[in-house]
Amino acid sequence: MMKKLILAALLAATPLSAVPAVAATAIAAQQNPAPLSALVAKVDIPYEQFTLANGLRVIVHTDRKAPIVSVNVWYHVGSVDEPKGRSGFAHLFEHIMFRGSEHSRVDHFKPLEEAGGSQFNGTTDFNRTNYFQTVPTPALDLALFLESDRMGWLLPALDEKVVSSEREIVLNEKRDGENQPGGLLFPALLAALYPASHPYSIPAIGREPDLRAAGVEDAKNWFRGHYGPNNAVLVLAGDIDAKTARPMVEHWFGQIPPGPTPARFASPVPERSAPTRQTLTDKVATVQLMRAWPLPGEDTPGMAALEVGLATFGSGPTSLLYDRLVRRERLAVGVSADVYGWEGASIAMIGAEVRPGVDPAQVEKRIDELLAEWKQTGPSADELNRIATRSVAGTIRALEQVGGFGGKGQTLAEGAVFSNDPADYKRQLAEIAGATPETVKAAAARWLTPNDHRVTLMPGERNPTSIDAPQAERVVTDAAKPATPGFQPQGTPADRSLGAPAAGDITKLTAPKIERATLSNGMKVQFVANHAVPVVRMQLALDGGVSADSRAKPGTQRLMLGLLREGTNGALGALDGPEIARRLERLGSSVSASAALDRTRINLNTLTPNLAPSLQLFADIVSRPAFPEDQLERIRGQVLADLANEATEPGGVAIRAAPALIYGPAHPYGQSFNGNGTPDGVKAVTRADLAAFHAALLQPADAVLFVVGDTSMAEVLPLLEQSFGKLKPAAAPLPLAKAAVPAPQAPGKVVLYDRPGAPQAFILAGAPLPLTGRDDILPLGLANDVFGGLATSRLNKLLREEKGWSYGASSSAAPTRGNMPFLLTAPVDRARAGESIAAIRGLLDEFHGKRPPEAAEVDRARASSIRSLPADFETGGAMLGALERAVVLNRPDDYLATLPARIEAVPLQAVRQSPLPAAADLVFIVVGDKATLEPQLKALGLPVELRSLP
């Protein structure tokens, strides 16, 4: 639904210096944004559809911008359909579907990776289970074969071993979620809002006793009852048309007989006669307040108005709750107001993260007062228009891609499954755009009653809750019906005894045309046209990333990121933070920033009709941040809260500890990987520090503006010259990382952070590599793909598929200007942490010894890399990343065009000789329960150092 687009947060960005010499009157004339009605009219996904004799509904959307096709199969079955005592089974079965079928007895990911597939996955929600992949056009037959074989011929490959193996993986996934701070909050809310007989009373991940009780007969019955073609929708979106698609679909799916019509269960909105509350404790950094109401399904009249209205109340920097509790009164460091909607039920939630030192009761009282005020007065028409514009703009951006979450394929499938209309997104957008103060007030009065459920989540040891209460019998509204007799197969039958079809020869990669220019101050510009959607993306890439942060006051750069949009003094005049946020919303634009180890990236994402006014606002944000003193204190409090939250997250603890252990604290990369800084550093930063860092960051002659989107160089270059061409450096540049590769600080050492009671052990291992990103790293990339970079890698196959100890394990080697970091992560069953580390070390020993990369493994990785390149260039965001990496890593101008040939030319021996670290070079960081972990870790024979959580 559109919720994820309505609630999209605008990220912070990084400031620069100097003022573009543009008359404010000239700029003011450009500030009228495109009307909302014009934006809504631009959202369109043309499609054709047909239905096979077995009931399979097929939807085809043609998009020729790249030689790729997104394949989506949505089954109208989810956790609401589970029988009593089998909670979590819909999700478990989703996992089982990836373990092979009668005519493809391999992991489903393997042939897709070899074919260059991308974005392949499956997800389970309350009401649907979906499977999706994006493949090169020549591999479409392969994708259809794989999907049809598991739809029609899964059972011969299904046995107890498969069920048992996937059960352990799912249990690790469940522990992974519950191991996060506040991981039990959502299950607790569901249990409190819905009776045990309600289909929405238990999250899709289920209960552990139910998962352990499930067996192979349950799986077979589930498949027979819910996975027929008549309970599914197939969407093909991309380089395909209905005329071509129909015989292909009939060939692969036309012989599958229909299944029964599944039963449907009642999901009434519970009647609440009084408010309720509960207090939970967990390893959270600050007190969190949450209140929630049960609502009807997302398509119910009034839900869109409530959703937009709640966004004005508590979502984003212009909302009432943020303005009062966070910005003005400093009672909270974060707020939220969301509607989570599904087919048969929804939940409205309002939350606040209490500022340290503030009485939670005071915050709760203020939320009561502000909610009552808002329900009485309602939002203004301007507020609703801004939120609707933000939502429509988000939809337009998401529909740039044919696959993936929120892409065209999934949007059409969602409408078909839940609303019987692939174009239901138009209804949703129309309702969002049509919301008025009156409709919002009416919806709020109807559903946001005093009889809410409130949860106070307190810092402390996790307390037992009743979230694992068993299900009760559910009420059937529509009984299951047997399959319709008399089915006649359709299409030319496929000879499945031949196995999977070949992926086909990939067409020659057509690299995007890159146009280059230089502004009058030496700032370089690279432009690539992309007319798929009316969107323009821009990135200002600057030398100096996390490694250039202040050594004396770590976190200086992070505070700049947070303060950039809190005030400007530029060509548009003096603007405060709320006004900047309102203007961005009216324009449907966003400004964000991120910092890698060597680079700071400031991004503008805007709609083509609003390019000129958005670009000028972006230039003011970039060039003349005001750094208001009062807002510095507010943002400082938020950053300190983020650091405290990071210290409660297993992954956050590990990533904070890793740089100094891998590189040493004196190395430029030894301070931080994410730039969050330290509490002491953040507390010490002054406004003068921010201004000085900001001035040093801008070096126009070393900066590059990357522009990708629905415009032309002829149109955008004068705007860039006007906005950025007069910028001058105001200080000497920041020092850049140039240190030589260090020795690991503690090779072979294990550092244990005690997290009492944690259900999992989070493992992070790392080492510096003797390569920089400017070297030839293609052999290293292929070697890492074989070892731990792909879903079918040795590492993931061992820890996930063979052992069942982890939900997923992976490794990476990030290209940096200095010596690259090798990182490996593996959240594992805490009872298997020691064995997991031993297994990881053993894999590396084999990799460098008796079992080097095999030719077949390297060829698969090579084919995957080359065949996936068209998808890498599909969206403007992906193209921006490719352009920026080529510049940062000093690649030649023809690098993207020649990349397939370069990958093809990497010899096997070069892959085998690539410098993945030896097992003895790795430093292991483990976060988990000391009592369980320490004996296992000491048994490894490695030094074990115990440290306290930061």
Q: What is the pLDDT of residue 198?
A: 93
Parallel, antiparallel or unpaired: strands 567-570 and 232-238: unpaired
Cβ-contact 163, 216 below 8 angstroms? yes
Q: What is the pLDDT of residues 748-758, one digit of tens each?
A: 899 999 999 88
Please give the Cα distance from 890 to 158 (Å, whole number).
50
Please give the Cα distance from 439 to 429 (Å, whole number).
15
Please give the Cα distance from 599 to 734 (Å, whole number).
11
CB-CB neighbours of 499 under 10 Å = 13
160 — pLDDT class (breaks 50, 70, 90): very high
Q: What is the pLDDT of residue 464?
A: 60
Reply yes or no on whether the pLDDT at 62 is more than 90: yes
Q: What is the pLDDT of residue 1?
A: 38
Structure tokens at 431: 């309702």
Q: What's CA 27's distance to the chain center, in Å?
A: 36
Please give the Cα distance from 454 to 446 (Å, whole number).
19
Q: Which domains does the chain have, with CATH numbers?
A: 276-398+419-459 (3.30.830.10), 515-724 (3.30.830.10), 750-947 (3.30.830.10)
Cα separation values, 131 from 224, 410, 767, Å: 18, 10, 36
Structure tokens at 759: 């259900």
Cα separation values, 157 from 122, 168, 179, 303, 497, Å: 19, 19, 33, 44, 15
Please give the Cα distance from 362 to 756 (Å, whole number).
31
Q: What is the pLDDT of residues 930-942, one digit of tens each?
A: 999 999 999 999 9
Structure tokens at 445: 């009065």
Of residues 883 and 26, more confidence is placed in 883
Q: What is the pLDDT of residue 42?
A: 85
Please give the Cα distance from 79 to 58 (Å, whole number).
24
What contacts 930, CB < 8 A, 6 or more positions away? 752, 754, 756, 946
Q: What is the pLDDT of residues 247-283, one digit of tens each?
A: 999 999 999 999 999 999 889 999 999 999 999 999 8
Please give the Cα distance from 531 to 593 (Å, whole number).
24
Helix (H) or strand (E) holding 663, with range, is helix 650-663
For the chain, give the percent of residues with pLDDT over 90. 77
Task: Report the sign of the C-alpha dihedral through residues 263, 269, 272, 277, in that order.
Answer: positive
Three-state secondary structure along 445-488? HHHCCCCCEEEEEEECCCCCCCCCCCCCCCCEEECCECCCCCCC
Q: What is the pLDDT of residue 855?
A: 96
Q: What residue spans of 798-854 are helical by DSSP H?
A: 833-848
DSSP state of 799: I
Please give the Cα distance from 707 to 526 (Å, whole number).
6
Reply yes or no on whether the pLDDT at 4 is more than 60: no
Q: What is the pLDDT of residue 20?
A: 30
Cβ-contact 641, 562 below 8 angstroms? no
| Mean pLDDT computed over 887-891 | 87
Amino acid at 266: A
What contacts 235, CB < 8 A, 6 or more positions away? 58, 59, 60, 61, 70, 71, 72, 73, 74, 409, 410, 412, 413, 416, 422
Cα separation values, 363 from 322, 360, 560, Å: 12, 5, 28
Please give the Cα distance from 699 to 523 (Å, whole number).
8
Q: What is the pLDDT of residue 6?
A: 31
Residues in the chain: 950
Q: What is the pLDDT of residues 525-553, one digit of tens each?
A: 999 999 989 999 999 999 989 999 999 99
Cα separation values, 605 from 10, 564, 587, 588, Å: 10, 16, 10, 9
Please give the Cα distance from 622 to 625 (Å, whole number).
7
Q: What is the pLDDT of residues 462-496, one digit of tens each?
A: 876 545 667 777 788 888 889 888 899 988 899 99
Q: What residue spans of 115-159 are helical by DSSP H?
A: 140-152
Q: What is the pLDDT of residues 356-393, one digit of tens each?
A: 999 999 999 999 999 999 999 999 999 999 999 999 99
345 — pLDDT class (breaks 50, 70, 90): very high
Q: What is the pLDDT of residues 895-920, one digit of tens each?
A: 888 999 999 999 999 999 999 999 99
Task: Report the sign of the C-alpha dihedral through residues 36, 41, 42, 44, in that order.
Answer: positive
Please give the Cα distance from 460 to 462 (Å, whole number).
6
**Kindly report the CA angle at 138 between 252 and 911, in degrees rounded to 5?**
120
Candidates 607, 773, 600; CA nearest to 703 is 600
DSSP 897-942: HHHHHHHHT--HHHHHTS-PPPGGGPEEEEEE-HHHHHHHHHTTTS
Q: Which residue has the tokens 């061992």?
A: 798
Q: Which residue has the tokens 């069942």?
A: 804
What contacts 510, CB < 8 A, 6 or more positions away? none
Cα separation values, 129 from 204, 336, 868, Å: 11, 28, 25
Reply yes or no on whether the pLDDT at 347 is more than 90: yes
Q: What is the pLDDT of residue 508?
A: 67
Three-state secondary structure along 273-308? CCCEEEEEEECCCCCEEEEEEEECCCCCCCHHHHHH
Q: What is the pLDDT of residue 893?
A: 85
Q: What is the pLDDT of residue 913?
A: 95
Q: Which residue has the tokens 């209460």?
A: 469
| Mean pLDDT computed over 742-747 | 56
Strand partners, 768: 821
Reply yes or no on whether the pLDDT at 145 is more than 60: yes
Reply yes or no on whether the pLDDT at 3 is more than 80: no
Structure tokens at 122: 């499956």
443 — pLDDT class (breaks 50, 70, 90): very high
Q: What's CA 613's distance to the chain center, in Å?
A: 29
Q: What are phi and psi of 729, to 5 degrees?
A: -65, 140
Q: What are phi and psi of 766, to 5 degrees?
A: -155, 165
Q: What is the pLDDT of residues 559-615, one digit of tens each?
A: 998 899 999 999 999 999 999 999 999 999 999 988 999 999 999 999 999 999 999
| Mean pLDDT computed over 59-63 | 98
| 3 state SS of 159 | coil
Counts for the chain of helices (H) and strands (E), in that order: 35, 27
Strands (DSSP E) found in 735-874: 750-754, 760-772, 810-813, 819-829
Q: What is the pLDDT of residues 668-715, one digit of tens each?
A: 899 889 899 999 999 999 999 999 999 999 899 999 999 999 999 999
Longest dimension (CA), the chain: 80
Candidates 76, 68, 249; CA nearest to 147 is 249
Please give the Cα distance from 608 to 137 (Å, whole number).
29
CB-CB neighbours of 618 under 10 Å = 24
Structure tokens at 782: 């292929």
CB-CB neighbours of 308 under 10 Å = 31
The burial of 497, by beta-carbon neighbours within 10 Å (0-12 exposed, 13-18 middle, 19 or more buried), is given as exposed
80-84, Cβ contacts within 8 angstroms, sequence gap of 24 or more: 80/126, 80/127, 80/199, 80/200, 80/265, 80/267, 80/344, 81/199, 81/226, 81/262, 81/263, 81/265, 82/206, 82/471, 84/470, 84/471, 84/472, 84/473, 84/474
| 3 state SS of 808 | coil
Candidates 176, 170, 192; CA nearest to 79 is 170
Candidates 751, 736, 860, 839; CA nearest to 797 is 839
Q: What is the pLDDT of residue 14?
A: 28
Q: What is the pLDDT of residue 203?
A: 94
